[in-house]
Amino acid sequence: MVQQCSEQMSGDNLGIALPTMSTTPSFDWRQEWRELKEFLKKPRRGRIASAPFSQTWRRFLLVFGIDIAIVLFVTLPLDSILDEWAGLESKLEINGKIALYGIVFAPIIEELVFRAGLRKAGYSLFIGPIFVACFAGSMLVVGALATILMSIAVIDKIRMRWVPEGNGRRFARGRAFIRHYPYVFWLYAIGFGLVHLGNFYSSNGRDYLLVFAISAQLSAGFLFAYLRLRQGLLSSILLHSLENGLFFALEMMSG
- pLDDT beyond 60 at 172: yes
- pLDDT beyond 90 at 235: yes
Mean pLDDT for all residues in the chain: 84
- pLDDT beyond 80 at 2: no
* pTM metric for this prediction: 0.83
* Mean pLDDT for the stretch of residues 21-33: 73
Share of the chain above pLDDT 70, in %: 83
Q: What are 125-161's pLDDT values in tens digits?
A: 888 998 988 887 667 777 887 888 878 778 777 777 7
CB 77 within 8 A of CB 255: no
Phi-psi region of 232 (alpha: psi -120 to 50; beta: other; left: phi over 0): left
* Mean pLDDT for the stretch of residues 83-96: 90
What pLDDT is recorded for position 1? 47
Could you give the CA distance from residue 130 to residue 139 in angstroms, rounded to a whole number?
10
Query: How do the domains of the chain map onto residue ranges?
Result: 57-254
Alpha helices (H) in the chain, listed in sequence order: 2-9, 29-41, 53-70, 76-85, 96-100, 106-114, 121-122, 128-134, 139-160, 168-179, 181-194, 215-231, 233-254
Q: What are 199-210's pLDDT values in tens digits?
A: 999 999 999 999
What pLDDT is recorded for position 158? 76
Question: 165 versus 71: which is more confidently predicted?
Answer: 71
CB 111 within 8 A of CB 132: no
Q: What are 44-75's pLDDT values in tens digits?
A: 887 666 788 888 999 999 999 999 999 999 99
Q: Three-state DSSP class for 201?
A: strand
- pLDDT beyond 50 at 23: no
Could you give the CA distance from residue 209 to residue 201 in angstroms, rounded to a whole number?
10
* Mean pLDDT for the stretch of residues 183-188: 94
Question: 176 versus 84: which is more confidently predicted?
Answer: 84
CB 183 within 8 A of CB 174: no
- pLDDT beyond 90 at 11: no
Rg (CA), the chain: 21
Could you give the CA distance from residue 39 to residue 124 in angstroms, rounded to a whole number?
19
What pLDDT is recorded for position 255? 60
What pLDDT is recorded for position 161? 72
Q: What are phi and psi of 201, to 5 degrees?
A: -150, 160
Share of the chain above pLDDT 90, in %: 53
